[in-house]
């Protein structure tokens, strides 16, 4: 912040842009682990990574050699209990998908330990059946939000974006085996050593 005369937000954005100058170092460090799987956790503030030019560039650069990549987008359970929260998260997930269009994307419902079984089922159902989402929207939202949500869910229905949400919880360590299996399914089986 001092060096470039920036405020906290500008400094974070610049720092993420400068990361591009250290790609080789990053690759070398990751290489040293010689790992089968690498999980790169990026900032939840999408304007710091996904929406910058540098985000997709870094993601492509880290997929060196024959390494296969996937983007995992987290739907935070705290934010998607109502149709309008679900739809705004779905919009974010869709724009991340547009940004990283070369890379397959998995959508995950995170922190499901905060929800009960019925809530999990309802939210997963919204992700697979946009008609159900439309019905919940019309029941539970009102005014402009209801109208906008209805229009948006109509667009998602027409787009056929029925990406399955995968429930996971780090706290209870559940769903991770499902995620692992799903990742293997989207990776090319000929190149994966887990087949
Ligand atoms: N109940 C519950 N809490 C979780 C889980 N995973 C993370 N948290 C908590 O959620 C809070 C916020 O953490 P995250 O959602 O991971 O967010 P972050 O990584 O700090 O920030 P961004 O990824 O940049 O948004 C922390 O207090 C975590 O301990 C989970 O599976 N269950
Ligand atoms: Mg995080």
CATH value at residue 75: 3.40.50.300
Contact 105, 97 (CB under 8 A): yes
Q: How many distinct structural domains can be found in the chain?
A: 1
- pLDDT of res. 164: 77
As a whole number of angstroms, the distance between CA 185 and CA 195 comes to: 10
- Ligand index nearest the alpha carbon of residue 76: 1
As a whole number of angstroms, the distance between CA 137 and CA 3 comes to: 49
- What distance in angstroms lies between residue 169's CA and the mean position of ligand 1's atoms? 10
Let me know if residue 2 belongs to a domain: no
Let me know if residue 20 belongs to a domain: yes
Determine whether the shortest distance from the Cβ of 172 to ligand 1 is under 6 A: no
- pLDDT of res. 168: 95
- pLDDT of res. 118: 97
Structural tokens at position 53: 């030019």
Structural tokens at position 132: 């159900």
- pLDDT of res. 187: 80
As a whole number of angstroms, the distance between CA 65 and CA 62 comes to: 9
- pLDDT of res. 138: 83
- Domain of residue 151 covers 8-186
- pLDDT of res. 67: 74
- pLDDT of res. 75: 95
Average pLDDT along the chain, 195 residues, taken 10 residues at a time: 93 89 89 87 87 84 74 94 90 86 88 97 90 84 80 70 82 90 77 53
Let me know if residue 152 belongs to a domain: yes
Q: Which residues of 51-71 are buried (b: 16+ CB within 10 A; e: fewer)?
A: bbebbbebbeeeeeeeeebeb
- pLDDT of res. 44: 85
Kindly give, in sequence order, each residue whose CB lies less than 8 Å from that of residue 191, ignoring residues fewer than 6 positions away: 66, 68
């Amino acid at each position: 912040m001092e060096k470039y005369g920036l405020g906290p937000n500008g400094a974070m954005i610049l720092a993420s842009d400068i990361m591009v100058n250290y790609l080789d170092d990053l690759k070398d460090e990751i290489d040293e682990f010689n790992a089968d799987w690498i999980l790169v956790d990026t900032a939840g503030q999408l304007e710091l990574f996904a929406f910058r030019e540098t985000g997709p560039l870094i993601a492509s650069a880290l997929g060196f050699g024959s390494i296969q990549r996937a983007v995992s987008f987290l739907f935070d359970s705290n934010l998607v209990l109502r149709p309008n929260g679900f739809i705004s998260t779905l919009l974010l997930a869709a724009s991340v998908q547009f940004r990283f269009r070369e890379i397959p994307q998995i959508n995950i419902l995170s922190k499901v330990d905060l929800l009960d079984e019925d809530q999990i089922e309802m939210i997963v159902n919204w992700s697979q059946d946009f008609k159900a989402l439309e019905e919940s929207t019309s029941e539970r939202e009102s005014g402009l939000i209801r109208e906008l949500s209805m229009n948006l869910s109509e667009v998602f229905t027409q787009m056929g974006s029925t990406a399955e949400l995968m429930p996971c919880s780090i706290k209870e360590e559940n769903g991770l085996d499902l995620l692992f299996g799903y990742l293997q399914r989207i990776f090319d089986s000929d190149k994966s050593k887990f087949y």
